[in-house]
Amino acid sequence: MRTIHKFLLKAGENIIELGVMDTVLDVQIQDGQPHMWVLIHDTGAPRSTRKFKIYGTGHEIIEASHRLDYISTFQLRGQIWGNMVWHVFEIST
């Protein structure tokens, strides 16, 4: 079955179990927290670990030997995240 799922993101690294064909649709703020929406192509398909990382503008990106695939940018104000612009990447080897 094909469905859309929502995942709450935290600062830094996020490990999410997804299928290889699943597609990240967007990252937006909902209820003051960043969430990522993913199109799950087959809910019965095998899943594997996929790694997503969030960087603030001006922050050092230390994964020099890894491939970074840009996902989305969001802005957030709050005590936990601060008043910054954040960028989400999928990290692969």
Q: What is the pLDDT of residue 81?
A: 73
**Domain residue extents for the chain:** 3-92
Any residues with CB less than 8 A from the CB of 79 and at least 6 apart, and which? none
What is the three-state SS of the chain?
CCEEEEEECCCCEEEEEECCCCEEEEEEEECCEEEEEEEECCCCCCCEEEEEEEEECCCCCCCCCCEEEEEEEEEECCCCCCCEEEEEEEEEC
Q: What is the pLDDT of residue 65?
A: 77
pLDDT tens track of the chain, all 93 residues? 999 999 999 988 999 999 999 999 999 999 989 999 999 999 999 999 999 999 999 999 887 778 999 999 999 877 667 788 999 999 987
Q: What is the pLDDT of residue 72?
A: 97
